[in-house]
Each structure stands twice: as structure tokens, then as C-alpha cells.
Amino acid sequence: MSDISGDKSLYEIAGPDFFVHLVDAFYDGIETDQVLLPLYPEGSVTTGARQRLALFLIQYWGGPDTYMQERGHPRLRMRHAPFVIGASERDHWLMHMAAAIEQTITEIDETYREHVTTELAHYMVNTAEAMRNV
């Protein structure tokens, strides 16, 4: 299959609002999840977590490096090390992220939807597994 995106980053294809909406949809699910919500130090007040994840994803996918400027290197494993993350937590996280992708992918031009979905899903699955520490 040819790369339909050409030289465009996911950020260039989707734009910043897509990532904000993706993260909002994701955290809407997290706020009701009794497996994951206890891992969040601020509980159901996810405003800060939403902002950090949106900035991280924007930067990761080719947007401005605001996350790095505000928080330094992502160091995902280090930042998540204090929390017990096993298979159940991974699976719940992925469930909410998959639902968020499905909910927001319609914001992407139809030409790029499959490419964006595939790229996001691949990254999210690999990252969620990498965060496991039990």
C-alpha cells in the first residue's frame, strides 16, 4: 500500500484541534473508569492531564514543541513508573483510546482517515504496552 500522506506529518493532516478533541474524548472515558481513575493524582479533575497529553501528542506527531518547552523530555516510562500499570490498566487505557479515535476520526479528511487511524492505533498499542511495569 502506498503512503497516502506523502511528506505530511499527522499534525499537518489533522491539525491541533483534532488532538485536543481526541484527548477530550479519551479523558471523558477515563473519568468514569474505576480501574484507571485511581491512578490519576488529581482524580476526576483531568484538566491538567488533558492539556499535557494533547501537547505531547501534538509534539510527537509533528506539531510545535510546546510540551518539551513546558515539561522537558517526555520520559514516558519514568513519568509513569510510580503507578502500577499491568495488563488490565493497559487494556482499559487502550479501550478508551480506541473509542476516542473512533469518535474523532471523522474530523479527518476521508482521504487520510485510514492512514491516521492506523498510525495512531499502532503508536497507542506499542506505547500502552511499553508503560506496563507489572
Q: What is the pLDDT of residue 101?
A: 98
* Burial profile 62-85: b = 16 or more Cβ within 10 angstroms, e = fewer: ebeeebeeeeeeeeeeeebeeeeb
Domain extents in the chain: 12-130
Give Cα separations from 119 to 81, 101, 106, 109 (angstroms): 25, 11, 15, 15
Q: What would the DSSP string read from start to end of 22-78?
A: HHHHHHHHHTT-TTTGGG-TTTT--HHHHHHHHHHHHHHTTS--HHHHHH-S--HHH
CATH classification (class only), 12-130: mainly alpha
Query: For residue 4, is pLDDT > 80?
Result: no
Quote the pTM value. Answer: 0.93
pLDDT tens for each residue of 12-65: 999 999 999 999 999 999 999 999 999 998 989 999 999 999 999 999 999 999
